[in-house]
Amino acid sequence: MDNVRIKILLADDDEDDYFITRELLSEILIWKSELDWVKTYDEALNAIHTKQYDVYLFDYRFGSDKNTGLDLLHEVIARDCKSPVIILTGQGDYRVDTEAIRTGASDYLIKEQITSYLLEKSIRHAIERKRAEEATTSAKNYTEYLVTCSLDMIVAANLNLEITEFNPAAEKVFGYTKSEILGKSIHILFASSIESQKVIEKILKGKTFSGEINKKKKDGQIFSSFLSASILQDIHKKEIGIVGILRDITERNHLIDQLRYNAFHDPLTSLPNRNLFMERLERLIEHAKRNKNSLFSVLFLDLDRFKTINDSLGHLSGDKLLILIAKKLKECLRKADTVSRFGGDEFAILLDGVDDAFNAKFVAERILEDLKNPFLVNGHRIVISASIGIVLKGELYHSPEDILRDADTVMYQAKTLGKARYAIFNREMHDTAMNFLQLENDLRHAIERSELELYYQPIVSLTNTEIVAVEALARWQHPQRGLLLPDQFIPLAEETRVIDNIGYWVIQNACTQNKLWHDMGFSNITVTVNISVIQFEHKELPKQIGTIIKNTGLPADAFELEITESSVMENKGVILEIFKELNKMKIHLMMDDFGIGFSSINSLKHLPFSTLKIDRSLILDIDTNSDATAIVKSIIDMAHSLKIKVVAEGVETQGQLELLRSYRCDYIQGYLLYSPMKAEEITNLLRQKNKQRSDIKNSITSEFTPLRGEKGHTRGHDFCNK
C-alpha cells in the first residue's frame, strides 16, 4: 500500500477524538491519508451520500443524538457501499462489539487503546478483507451467472446423491422446476437404474467421468446426453458432492446417423451403395478365409437399353424406373441378401449362404423373369431386361475389387450373348482375367523397360512406284510372351489409359526416325501414325505434337496422323477443334478404315482430311466380288471429287493391284508389296530403291516384288485398331 492515498471519513462528536485520530494517522507512513470529520449524524449521512471514501470510522455514540454508529453502518450497507466500516467506542462492550461485527462492521476499536500501529493494522486489514470479500462475491456471482446462463445442463448433488443444484438449462430439458427437484435423488434423472449405479460408482472411484449416457425427462421420455462429471470439493479439499455438466446430443446423434446413412446408401433408391456393399463383401471374404464353409455369391446386374429409355422419356422418368426396379430386386431376395445400386443402371447383389451354381442361377432367373412384367412410369408401360454376371465364392479371391471385376467381365459376356440373360464366371475366365491383369501390369512398364519398338510398313505411289510414306506400327517385345502385335495390347492400353504414354512415345520416335531418313537424303518420305480417339480427349494434343515436331526438326508436312472413320464420326464434336489446330500446323490427317463406318459425303467435306485409307475388308475380294468392286470404285471417285487422296490397304494379290490401278487409286499398302519392317530394313530398302531408280524400265507390276517381313502373317496390323 506504499504511496497510496486513502480517503477516510470520521464521524465523531468529540473534537479531541478528531485531533487524536488525525495525529495517529499522520504517524502512519505507509500511506497518505485524507481525513474528513463530521460531528453529527446528519452531517455523516450527507457525506456518505455525496462522497466516496476508502474507509469509514464511526463513533458508536454521537453525544445526545438518538442515532448511533451502527445506524450509519446500516446506511452504508443499504447504499451497497463497498468500503469497510470500523466502529469506535469509548469503552469495551462485548454486546456492542458482537452487534457491530454481526451487522457488517470490519472491526471494532476502543478509543483509549488505539495506537497508530493498531489503527494502521485495523484499516489495512479492513480494506484487504473487503477486497477479498468483493473478489469472492464477484467470483460467486460470476459462477452463478455461468450456471444460470449456461446452455448446457448443470446438475450437482451432495454425497448422499441428493440434488443441490439444477440450472435453467436443466429445467428446460428435463421438465422439472428447480424447486421440485432439489433434494431428490440424482438417480431420478437416469433412464436406467443399472446405468446410473455404474456411472455414480465410476465418478466416486475415479473422481471424474465423461461419456454418452441415456437420461430420462419428467414425462418419461428418454434422450441421449453427453455427461462430464467430477467430485466437488470444498476449500479444504474435502469431498462434498458431485457436479455434472450434460449436453443433449439427440439432434447430433440424429445428424450423425443421417450422415452415416447417406455415406452408405444411394440417395435415389435408398439401397446400399457401393461403399456399404464393398464393406459387407469384404467382411464375408475375411470370414471365408477363417471358415472354409462360408458361402456367398455376387451378381452384377446391368439394365439393357436403359439409356434409350432415359433419353426418350427423360431423366425424371428414368429415375422413377430405377426406383421401381430397386423395389423389384429387393422383392426377389431374402432379408439376409444385399442389393446395392452402384450408380447409373448398375446393381450388385450379395447372396449370403449361396455358393453353388444352382441357387445362384435360380436367383438370376427369378430376377430376369420378374423384370419381364411391364413397369408403369408416368403413363408409359415400360418393359426392360437385364444382363447378369455371376461370381461364385472360392479360394481364388482375396479382395472385393477382384470379385466385382470378374462379375463385371462376365456380365458383359452375357450382354454380348444377346441380353436378358446371365453368365457364370468360371476358372478359365479367372485365368484369363489374371493373365489380363499381369499383362496390364507389364504394359505399364513396357516403355521404361524399352520393350516397345516401331516397325514401318511402306505406302507406295501407284503413279511412279515410289515409296512416299511409311506407317509406324508399334510392337511389344514381351520378355515372356515374345513379340506382340497391336491387336494384342492396344485395346488393353486404351482401356487402362496407358495409351496416352504409348501414343506419345510412338509419335516421338516416329518423328525422330523420319528426321534421320530426311538427313540421309530421303526427304520425300512421310511418316504416318495411328492415333487413338482417347488421345483426342486431351486438348493439349496439338501442343504436344508441335513440341515434338519442333524438337526433332522434322517438317510438319512430313508427318501424318491416322484416325479411324468410326472414331471420327462418333466423336465429331469433340475432335473437330483439335483437327483445326493440327491443320493450322500443316499436319496432314488421314481417315483410316474408311468404308466400314457411316460417314457421309456431306460430313466428309467439312473435315480437314487430305487422305482416305480404304479398309482392308473391302479390298479383300474386289477382284472376285462385284459389289466390293463397285464400292471401292465409288469411294475412290468420291474422294477425288473432294480432292482427297486415297490409300488402299491390305493389298495382297496381283488382281487387287491391277483393279486399283485401273480405278486410279493413288497409293497402295499391303503384303503383296512390303511387310512391316524395322527401321534398319527400311533404310536399306530406301537405299536400294535409290540405286535401282535409274534402271527401272519394266512395268509397274514387275517392280512390286514382295519382301520378306514378319513370318506367319497374311495381313498388316495398324497401331491402334488392327
* Residue 601, pLDDT score: 63
Separation CA 302–CA 346 (nearest Å): 5
Note the pTM of the prediction, 2 decimals.
0.51
What angle is formed at CA 279 by the lines to CA 276 and CA 280, rounded to 5 degrees? 90
With a CB cutoff of 8 Å and minimum separation 6, the contacts of 556 are 549, 585, 586, 587
Q: What average pLDDT does range 465-471 have in this prediction?
A: 94
| Cell, residue 203 | 465418478
Which residue bears the cell 422446476?
Answer: 177
Which residue bears the cell 454376371?
Answer: 389
Residue 594's pLDDT band (cuts 50, 70, 90): confident
Q: What average pLDDT does range 173-202 have in this prediction?
A: 93
Separation CA 514–CA 517 (nearest Å): 5
Q: What average pLDDT does range 336-357 have in this prediction?
A: 90
| Cell, residue 123 | 484499516
CA dihedral 616, 621, 622, 624 (to 10 degrees): 170
531-570 pLDDT tens trace: 988 888 788 899 999 999 999 999 999 999 999 887 777 6
Q: Name the average pLDDT for the chain.
A: 86
How distant, in Å, are the alpha carbons of 159, 307, 596, 672 from that of 632?
104, 36, 11, 18
Separation CA 50–CA 56 (nearest Å): 14
CA of residue 443 relative to chain centroid, distance? 29
Separation CA 591–CA 616 (nearest Å): 13
Separation CA 483–CA 23 (nearest Å): 120
Helix (H, G, I), strand (E, B) or coil at 120: helix
Which residue bears the cell 470479500?
Answer: 133
Residue 111 confidence (pLDDT) above 90: no
Helix (H, G, I), strand (E, B) or coil at 4: strand
* Residue 619, pLDDT score: 94
Q: Which stretches of 393-500 are assigned E, i.e. beta strand?
A: 422-424, 452-461, 467-478, 482-484
- Looking at the DSSP assignment, which residues form a beta bridge with residue 58? 11, 87
Q: CB of 231 within 8 A of CB of 239?
A: yes
445-455 pLDDT tens trace: 998 899 999 99
Residue 136's pLDDT band (cuts 50, 70, 90): low
- Looking at the DSSP assignment, which residues form a beta bridge with residue 349? 299, 339
Which range has highest mean pLDDT (87-101, 509-523, 620-634)? 509-523
Domains and CATH numbers, the chain: 4-145 (3.40.50.2300), 150-253 (3.30.450.20), 268-425 (3.30.70.270), 440-703 (3.20.20.450)
H/E element holding 210?
Answer: strand 208-216
Closest by CA to 170, choosing from 216, 103, 116, is 216
479-536 pLDDT tens trace: 999 999 998 899 888 888 899 999 999 999 999 999 999 999 999 999 999 998 888 8
- Gyration radius from the chain CA atoms: 50
Residue 415's pLDDT band (cuts 50, 70, 90): confident
* Residue 695, pLDDT score: 55
Separation CA 17–CA 4 (nearest Å): 24
Separation CA 344–CA 278 (nearest Å): 17
Q: CB of 603 within 8 A of CB of 576?
A: no
* Residue 711, pLDDT score: 35
Residue 666's pLDDT band (cuts 50, 70, 90): very high
- Looking at the DSSP assignment, which residues form a beta bridge with residue 159? none
